[in-house]
Structure formats: structure tokens, C-alpha cells
Amino acid sequence: MSENIVYSKAELTGACRETFRRVASGLPAEIGAHLTCSDGVRTHGTKGNHFLFNVWDRRQIPHLHRDYFNYCLNYCVTARAKGLPDTTLHLWINTLRIHRNRAQNRVYLVHQVRRHTPQGFSFETTDRSVNAAVRFNLPNRLQEVPDFLEPLYLRLIGALHPVLLPVIHSVNRPMTAADQAQVRAAKGAIRAQGRPLPPDERRFSRSVPRSWRIELLRRHGNRCARCGATLTLSTAQMDHIVPYSKGGLREISNFQPLCAGCNREKSDQRE
């Protein structure tokens, strides 16, 4: 087989579902019996080059959405040809989507997930997410994929699911009138944060929150990180220091403000 083997969604669906079957039966019953998984691998990303497969706890529904509180396998079909790991397995929590006791739950999750992240996985956090991730290449033989993935899933879920259960139980307790008001306020805050940027800022801000843009400009004294030219919110172009396609993380430390000329020059150098 080619060293740069690329799996189809159908191939990965079979391998991932077999992996899940083994993992669910290999975990303690109080965890494994409550887990479920995606019906199949789905396409993700603007270029359609990422395949996702999620595992989550049935008890978290409907208050914790399965797309924002899960164990996610992310396979990039173009990564290995570029010399990068083709797969990430991670606990993925979007803390903005925790509508009950969000601040308290976020503090708890950051502390406990960091503390209990298993060996070989890296703890990662942004202003809106908590992750524990490991990156690797899938085996070149499809029949070996479940054997390869099973121990990784068991380590990740076995270490971190006991940490998640208090959050799952807390959001599912009966809601009081005060709880309902809190949820409405939290959802309203998300909608406000999701309002479109002004057109002149939107052009170069595809995945960079406005709060990050303001902070990045402050850190760099409102100047281009390469040439020192003066920048504003409308002229700054936020650049991935390590490109996402090369494994760069979507966190504020991986962005820098550039002027149009420097950003164009850096893009030309990549090509």
C-alpha cells in the first residue's frame, strides 16, 4: 500500500464503529453503557478534507450538544501528503455551549481536565474551549485501525469521563425559574458574540474572534508583527504563525497581526 494511503468515509465509518463497539464494552459499565456514537463519519471544513467521528454520553442530551461536548476523531485526508499527522483524537468541549453555570463549569473543567489528561495526550484550552488531544497517523492497513485506536480511546475516556460526569449531571437536574433565566441569558450572549463583524474587518477575520483581534493588536502595539507598520482593526490581517494545514492550533498564541503586504509575502513563501 502507498505510504500516503487515504481512507474514504465509508472505510473509516466501519473502522470507527467497530472501535466504538470494543471501547464501550471495555470501559466500566457506568461509563460504557451510556455512550453512543455517530452513525457514520461526516465531512467537515470548508474544503471538505476533514472527516469527523464523535462519541458522547446519552445523558448529556439535550442540554450539552453532541457537536460541542464529545470525544472527536478528526481525520484529514490531505495531511499525510504534507508530512503531517493525519488524525487527531481529542476530548472537545466548547464551553460557550454550556448554558447552565457556565463560568463555574468552565473553571472546573479547565482544572480537572488539565489534571487528569492521560500521558501522551496534550491539554489545550482557549477562551471558549477545553481539549485533551493526541495526533498521529492511522495505520496503512484498514483492518489494523480498530486495534490501533481502541487503547487510545480507552485511555482518553477512562481518564476523563469521570471528570465530565459532574457537569453532565449538573446540567440535567430539574430547572428552576432562576436556571431558565440563566440559560436564556447565556444563549443571548452567544447570539450577541455571533453577530457579523463590520465588512472591513470581516475580510481577514474568518476564524479569529473580535476579542482576539483586539487583544492581538494590543499585544503588538497596533503594529505589524513583521514590518512594524501601524494597524487598525480594519487593516490588520490575522495570520496563523503555524498554519492550520501544518498542525497549527486555533488559539490566540498562534496568531499575529500583519499588514496586507507582509501577509501576502508570507502566503507567497508558503506556496
Cα(136)–Cα(44) distance, rounded to whole angstroms? 19
Query: Could you state, in order of their start, the residue ranges of all structural domains in the chain?
Result: 9-176, 199-270
Q: Please tell me the class of the 9-176 domain.
A: alpha beta
Answer CATH for 199-270 from 3.40.50.720, 3.90.1300.10, 3.40.980.10, 1.10.30.50: 1.10.30.50
* Region for 101 from its dihedrals, namely left if φ exceeds 0, alpha if ψ lies in -120 to 50, beta otherwise: left
Show the cell assigned to 233.
Answer: 482593526
What is the model's pLDDT at position 144?
97
Peptide bond into 28 cis (omega under 30): no
Q: Dump pLDDT digits (tens) for 174-225.
A: 555 554 555 455 455 545 554 554 544 444 444 577 788 888 998 888 888 8
Q: How far apart are the first and last CA of the chain?
A: 29
Q: Dump pLDDT digits (tens) for 126-169.
A: 888 999 999 999 999 999 999 999 999 999 999 999 999 999 99
- The band of 244, judged by pLDDT with boundaries at 50, 70 and 90, is low
Q: Enter the pTM of the model.
A: 0.66
Strands (E), the chain: 35-37, 42-44, 50-57, 69-76, 87-94, 122-125, 129-136, 237-240, 255-258
Q: Dump pLDDT digits (tens) for 31-88.
A: 999 999 999 999 987 788 999 999 999 999 988 999 999 999 999 999 998 899 999 9
What is the model's pLDDT at position 200?
44
